[in-house]
């Protein structure tokens, strides 16, 4: 999955679940910025720190078989073990 598609999924997850306080997307998908490049040409890039629960929520928005398998494995390890 490309970086642009991942950022789109993160934004969609935040927009749909951001108003739901029980999911705490602001605590599970934390946006940051970082600078990269030579000192005279540094650019600001967007970065998102994701908790384990945030990853589980995010995987619901990524529509691929691999994402669904990862989500199932996380849920299995977390809740069924």
Q: Do 10 and 3 meet the contact criterion of CB atoms below 8 Å apart?
A: no
User: How much is the mean pLDDT over the chain?
Assistant: 79
Query: Rounded CA gap, 64 and 49, in Å?
Result: 22
Q: What is the pTM of this model?
A: 0.62
Q: What is the pLDDT of residues 31-56, one digit of tens each?
A: 889 999 998 899 998 888 988 888 87
**Tokens representing residue 14 in the block:** 């935040």
Running DSSP on this structure, what letter comes out for residue 37? S
Instruction: Please give the pLDDT value at position 24.
Output: 63
């Amino acid at each position: 999955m490309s970086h642009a598609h991942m950022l789109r999924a993160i934004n969609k997850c935040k927009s749909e679940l951001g108003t739901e306080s029980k999911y705490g997307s602001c605590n599970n998908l934390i946006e940051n910025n970082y600078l990269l490049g030579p000192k005279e040409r540094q650019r600001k890039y967007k970065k998102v720190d994701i908790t384990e629960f945030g990853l589980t929520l995010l995987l619901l928005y990524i529509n691929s078989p691999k994402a669904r398998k990862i989500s199932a494995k996380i849920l299995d390890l977390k809740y069924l073990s």
